[in-house]
A and B are shown apart, each in its own frame.
Chain A
Amino acid sequence: MESRARIKALLKKLMNRKVMISVLALVMAMVTSGIIIKLSGYSPVEAIMAIFEGAFNGKSAIARTLVQATPLILSGLAFTVAQKAQLINLGVEGQLYLGALATAMVGSMDLGVPGGLHLIFAILVGMLVGGLYAGIVGVMKVRFGSNEVIATIMLNSIAILVANYFVSGPWKAVGSVTGQTEKVLDQVRLARLIPHTQLTLAIAVAIISCLIMKWFFDHTVPGYEIKVVGQNKTAAKVAGIQTGKIVILSMLLSGAIGGLAGGLHVLGVDGRFITGFSPGYGFSGIAVAALGAGSPIGVIVSGLIFGVIRSGSMLLDLKTDIPLTYADVVQALVIIFVATPMLITEMIHKSKRVVSAMNPSSKKGEES
């Protein structure tokens, strides 16, 4: 009996408003895209089945889903962290790029250190580079009052161009015909958790990073100060918090997480830096952060959801005639619906009204 009550309590906790709305939004996005798919003459059932099969059917499918989710979770986290200080870091893409490049370079050099150390060093350098690159924005903001939206958009383009220059020129792998660095040493590659998949500990690192950030914001002094600065800069100043330092710190942190996303991708998936390796993870991160509703825990959940869509759409692509563009449409719709909780609440209200109109005896329920 008692355990039943506990499960009930747990369910109640899980079914809170935020979660309900996110779930309903997903359903709405699915239904809408289903209609679009149907209108274009394809079978929505087939599409959804393919997506679920591609994401969950078998070990390698699940592995693929987790691999896809990893950079999304981290990019979403990077955006969320900056957002806590009320900073819009549209530059995660650039930070991720440079982080990946730095990790790849360090990883491909023979430093004569043991593997584990080398790996950690490579990751840390990636984080440092990503962090410093974002730090520029923080410094510009504090020093010159520069708008971070402009600065990050500009720095994105610069990062991508400069990285492309290095990997097509001075740092290009010998004999390679595409823009890429040398392979990283085997000792710095992340070990595969399941053979013949790309699944590595990277996903664990991503999830742990989210947990750490949640803990950081809830229980540490700098986390607290970031939140205060984000919510009320004047009050923070009056309380003796050095707002400039905090702004820079948040950007550094956010950029470091972006750099980590890039570094893990290099060491876990590609084994080197390859031009164009990111399909806009930085921007998808904004969507992930939106779905995660500003909470690092939410980011894990939403990163996984986007991972499912991306991984599932690979099978959709392979198995059906439905063009891959539909998967993009689904993703965009998910973002839009999830970002629109009021639409969902409105619909709930309307449907309640309809129900109560059809069924006058249930009118009491409206009061509550």
Chain B
Amino acid sequence: TPASEGTAVEKVDAGDSAGETSSSRVGIVLTTGGLGDKNFNDMAYDGLVQAKEDLAIEFDYVEPKVVSDYVSHFRMYAESGEYELILGLGADQADAIAEVASEFPEQKFSLVDSAADLSGVRTVYTDWTHQTFLCGVIAGLETKAGNLENANEENVVGVVLGMEYPILLEGVMGFTSGVKYVNPDAEVLQATVGDFSDPAKGKEIALSMYNRGADFIQHIAGASGLGVFNAAKEENRYAFGVGGNQNHNAPDYIVATSIRNVNEMVYNEVVLALEDKWVPGPTGSGLKEGSVGYSVEGSNVVLSESTIKIVEEVKAMIINGELQPCRTIEELDAWVGNNQYFQ
């Protein structure tokens, strides 16, 4: 079974329905990345393992080869009629799950990580900009202050992308606007590996950024990000993880992780389905719900109290709606003009 270090699941209150539904089955269609990504898929898997332990459910999972196979997988689950809940993962499953859901109106379908409004499907999404914004704030503060041991004089940070997918670009904007919110003059470098499983290239790209003065790099690059951590170690600079808590990968160099608790989201869907609280329709889940955010747990990099204070303050502002991260590159300049932490 796939391991997933550092993606501990915080228990959601499962109520007392666990005992009665011991025979319930849940099926999940993972993404094309498949298990072993130490991230999205592994976290979802862990959520279900947790659910199996806590709620005594059984679960099945499939790893599609390609996007085109999603429909077949959903249909195979639905046709068997054995599943209390069929879970999907990722925005690119929206078409497929909608198609099958329309054929099986009685079946409960939940799609995690999609904001689409699909009939008969419950969609739960997190906001990428919320996920990376706070790490952006940390980077923005620390690259300017230069207080941390391995930070430098220059006011430069970076983001490394796996592939330039539209949704990931929102993650880039979250980080970038986070940096600029506290440090408008900072330069944010951006580059794409072109692959989610090429750590060697990821490292080269990170090195190119460190060479150009960056001292903090946020990766959104799957396994290619492992190369970013390696570069950080080699160059004595800093990096941010993404998804599940990655701080343990290089605790002296990874400042924090832009967390997304897919495991909790998946776990929650199971709970809702078992408790008959499941209703179709889109539901957002963000900083407020604790589905995303930053985590410094496991990192040996000690942030100053003032930094933590500012980050927490910003977090609170987003939660209560006072602040909205910037979403697109086109809006960035105007957004920076209007949103500044230090007036």
Contact = CB atoms under 8 A, between A and B. Distances in A.
Interface in B162-190: 163-167, 170
A177 B77 CA distance: 26
Nearest to B77: A318
A317 B66 contact: no
B63 interface: yes
B32 interface: yes
B91 A270 contact: no
B248 interface: no
B163 A277 contact: no
Contacts of B95: 270-271
A319 B61 CA distance: 9
Nearest to B69: A314
Interface string B39-80: 000000000000000000000101101111101110111010
B72 A198 contact: yes
A177 B91 CA distance: 7
Given A178-B91, A274-B67, A279-B66, A314 B72 contact: yes
A177 B165 CA distance: 8
Given A60-B75, A318-B73, A270 B68 contact: yes
Contact of B63 (A67, A165, A177, A317): A317
A356 B168 CA distance: 67
Nearest to B125: A177
12 contacts: A60-B79, A177-B115, A197-B75, A270-B68, A270-B95, A276-B32, A276-B66, A277-B66, A310-B65, A314-B62, A317-B63, A318-B76
Contacts of B170: 177
Interface string A57-74: 000100010010000000
A196 B92 contact: no
Interface of A: 60, 64, 67, 161, 164-165, 168, 172, 176-180, 196-198, 265, 269-271, 274-279, 310-311, 314-315, 317-319, 324
Contacts of A317: 62-63
Contacts of B62: 314, 317-318, 324
Nearest to B35: A323
Q: How many interface residues does chain B have, given as a range?
A: 20 to 34
B165 A275 contact: yes
A265 B60 CA distance: 28
A274 B115 CA distance: 18
B234 interface: no
B313 interface: no
Given A178-B92, A318-B62, A318-B73, A164 B68 contact: no
Contacts of A60: 75, 79
B34 interface: yes
A283 to B, nearest CB: 13
User: In terms of DSSP, what is the predominant structure of the interface of chain B?
Assistant: helix
Contacts of B289: none
B165 A179 contact: yes
Contacts of A278: 66
Interface in B189-236: 194
B333 interface: no
Given A277-B68, A279-B66, A318-B60, 13 more contacts: A60-B75, A177-B167, A198-B68, A198-B71, A269-B68, A270-B67, A276-B67, A277-B67, A278-B66, A317-B62, A318-B77, A324-B34, A324-B62
B103 interface: yes
A196 B63 contact: no
A169 to B, nearest CB: 8
A179 B63 contact: no
B312 to A, nearest CB: 29
A64 B65 CA distance: 14
Q: Of residues A64, A161, A178, which shows the largest number of chain B Cβ atoms within 10 Å of its Cβ?
A: A178
A-B pairs, 6 with minimum CB distance:
A177-B167, A279-B66, A178-B92, A317-B62, A279-B65, A177-B91
A321 B32 CA distance: 18
Nearest to A195: B103
Contacts of B164: 164-165, 168
A310 B163 CA distance: 27
B166 A176 contact: yes
A178 B170 CA distance: 11
B69 to A, nearest CB: 7
B109 to A, nearest CB: 15
> Which of B115, B164, B194 has the largest count of A CB atoms less than 10 A from its CB?
B164
Nearest to A177: B167
B194 A161 contact: yes
A359 B66 CA distance: 53
Scoring B60, B62, B167 by chain A CB atoms within 10 A of each residue's CB, the highest score goes to B62
Contacts of A275: 163, 165
Contacts of B77: 318
Nearest to B115: A177
Contacts of A165: 164
